[in-house]
Structure 1
Amino acid sequence: MNKPVILDFDHSTGIITDAFRIELGQWQEAIRFGCSQAKFKQLQAELARQLPEYYGTVLMGSGDYHHISLLLIKRLQQYFNATNPIQVVIFDNHPDNMRYLFGIHCGSWVSYVAQLPFVSHVHVLGITSNDIGLAHCWENRLAPLFQGKLTYWCMDVQVSWAKKIGLQQAFRAFASPEELVSAFIQVQQQTSESVYVSIDKDVLGKDVVQTNWDQGRMQLEHLLTVIAALDQRIIGSDITGEVSQWQYTSLLKRLLSAMDKQEPIPAATLAAWQQQHHAVNQQLLNALAQHQQTTF
């Protein structure tokens, strides 16, 4: 019941011993980066059909699929409610709380999680992206921040604009990952609510893994420290942020993804980077298996 699951959209995850693999390559063009709400509901139905009743950590491939976390979290509504809620803890170099006009995508899903009645709070840890800086402040969905449902835990970004509009409590700025992790653990020691953990490895420094996104400053030990501190409160988890490439047939997706300025990766380099990710995945899976509840 604790076996990991691979949602195999892009064949980037590699071999995970005992993992339950679901082939979803046929969904790659439709779902990768973003999709309409209608297509997202179709994928939700497909996952409901193929996922086992009980499973461990889910690996989804590229960070371009991070919006799939929303579907995995929604599956928990059969176990939790507003009087018995969960928190969602996301490691990510980006807020994933941005406006998106064409449905849902990998950078907009967090606001939907914050709207779920059984989610009391969403924490995004490790942001160093300018997505939360002044130049991009208007792109952030402010409602969950004003409602006290979402907190950005960040470094290296000037976020003084938030204080000027009354959002100082939603922005926690730190000088180092160690200070951030320490403060977050102190906050978590004040609650016993169950936790869903979602990890995008672009939160890690380039000395840990290489991705084709801009990356943060956290080290693997910081993630493992938080996971250990949440011991037995974790009731679900996923990992994304693998490195892979895809040529879209959709003109809209080609235009939008081009804005991310992701350079082509030579095949040998890609293979080496994927090996780095595989080693990190193994350590994360071991830690999550050790500290995640088996029943709830």
Structure 2
Amino acid sequence: MNKTIILDFDHSTGSIPDAVRIEFGQWQEVIRFGCSQTSFKKLQVELNQQLPEHYGTVLTGSGDYHHISLLLINRLQQFFSSSNPIQVIIFDNHPDNMRYLFGIHCGSWVSYVAQLPFVSHVHVLGITSNDIGVAHSWENRLAPLFQGKLTYWCMDVRVGWARTIGLKQAFRAFSSPEELVSAFIQTQQQTNEPVYISIDKDVLGKDVVQTNWDQGRMQLEHLLTVINAMNQRIIGSDITGEVSQWEYTSLLKRLLSAMDKQEPIPATTLTAWQEKHHAVNQQLLAALAHNQRTAS
């Protein structure tokens, strides 16, 4: 069995038996929340040097690092191509497909994944954020939606604007997580393409775990149901959404973080939240390991 990898940017991930922990704390200020394309490319080089050829699920820490998933998915180009593609399944309360003028950040990486030639489709499951509502419609990168390479699977958001401009098929709206999961699994029964799964735990309700982002409605059982339905099609996976704190030296990042309403967390509260995350991680890791095969 391939070993779990912890990319330790923020020391938020607890001890995982037999996991390989790789220290990336020196990158925290540069990479967290967002970074320039130049810095992102430098991190890709270091990741390629540090990671083994084959490994299991990768834990990346806070959801402020979800853009690291792009680097992990990009590594799969050595195994897949446009004639032998993969699908990417993302659990997230946000589309992570927003415009960002300063490089790439944790909310803007999905469109880059959709552009990869060996990725046939990207599905973002569990969105309840108003990021996909009409008020923020202009912030979404529409190209992958129009190109039929990206689908939002959402709840509790009015998305009629998408139908108006011809994007009805790219927005799948549901009234409950159960309906969403059932419909998604039905579509997946029509394909045998390998899948990469990326999990941001802000997709989960606050009764499951607490994160430093606004959260969705899914329960852990919904994620496990989708994972178990993949039937050995999973060829890579990552988990983000841990909770941690960081004081930015960058004025821009302090401003953007404040706009996203990331409030300070008392130390005792932080520890209790991290313990819940650890328990959820154990269940996710077990399910992913059971349904994951080595990319080749």
TM range (shorter): over 0.9
CA distance in 2, matches of 1:65, 1:59: 10
Q: How much does 1:295 deviate?
A: 4.6
Q: Supply the AA of the counterpart residue of 1:153.
A: W
Structure 1 residue runs without a partner (length 5+) = none
- Return structure 1 stretches of 4+ with deviation > 4 angstroms: none
Q: Is 1:12 equivalent to 2:21 in the alignment?
A: no
Q: Is 1:241 equivalent to 2:232 in the alignment?
A: no
SS at match of 1:73: helix
* Structure 1 counterpart of 2:197: 197
SS at match of 2:10: coil
* Structure 2 counterpart of 1:25: 25
* Structure 1 counterpart of 2:133: 133
Q: Taking structure 1 as the reference length, what is the TM-score of the superposition?
A: 0.99
* Structure 1 counterpart of 2:255: 255
Q: Is 1:220 equivalent to 2:258 in the alignment?
A: no
CA distance in 2, matches of 1:121, 1:144: 9
CA distance in 2, matches of 1:150, 1:190: 17
CA distance in 2, matches of 1:12, 1:154: 28
Check the 8 A contact 2:199/2:239 in 1, yes or no: yes
Q: How much does 1:192 deviate?
A: 0.4
RMSD (Å), alpha carbons: 0.6
* Structure 2 counterpart of 1:47: 47
Check the 8 A contact 2:79/2:295 in 1, yes or no: no
Summarize deviations over 1:85-128 as a string: whole Å, max 9, x none. Answer: 00000000000000000000000000000000000000000000
CA distance in 2, matches of 1:68, 1:214: 20
* Structure 2 counterpart of 1:101: 101
Are the structure 2 counterparts of residues 295 and 119 from structure 1 closer, same or farther at C-alpha, using a change threshold of 3 Å? closer
Q: Supply the AA of the counterpart residue of 1:34.
A: G
CA distance in 2, matches of 1:80, 1:49: 20
SS at match of 1:54: coil
Q: Supply the AA of the counterpart residue of 1:203.
A: V
CA distance in 1, matches of 2:54, 2:196: 15
CA distance in 2, matches of 1:26, 1:294: 30
CA distance in 1, matches of 2:173, 2:295: 35
* Structure 2 counterpart of 1:85: 85
Summarize deviations over 1:250-292 as a string: whole Å, max 9, x none. Answer: 0111111110111110000000000000000000000000000
CA distance in 2, matches of 1:27, 1:47: 11
SS at match of 1:237: strand
Are the structure 2 counterparts of residues 246 and 161 from structure 1 closer, same or farther at C-alpha, using a change threshold of 3 Å? same
CA distance in 2, matches of 1:236, 1:53: 12
CA distance in 2, matches of 1:271, 1:52: 31
* Structure 2 counterpart of 1:117: 117
Structure 2 residue runs without a partner (length 5+) = none
* Structure 2 counterpart of 1:174: 174
Summarize deviations over 1:12-71 as a string: whole Å, max 9, x none. Answer: 001001001100000000000000000000000000110011100000000000000000
Q: Supply the AA of the counterpart residue of 1:67.
A: H
CA distance in 1, matches of 2:263, 2:254: 13
Summarize deviations over 1:120-175 as a string: whole Å, max 9, x none. Answer: 00000000000000000000000000000000000000000000000000000000
Q: Taking structure 2 as the reference length, what is the TM-score of the superposition?
A: 0.99
Q: How much does 1:2 deviate?
A: 1.2
CA distance in 2, matches of 1:294, 1:31: 28
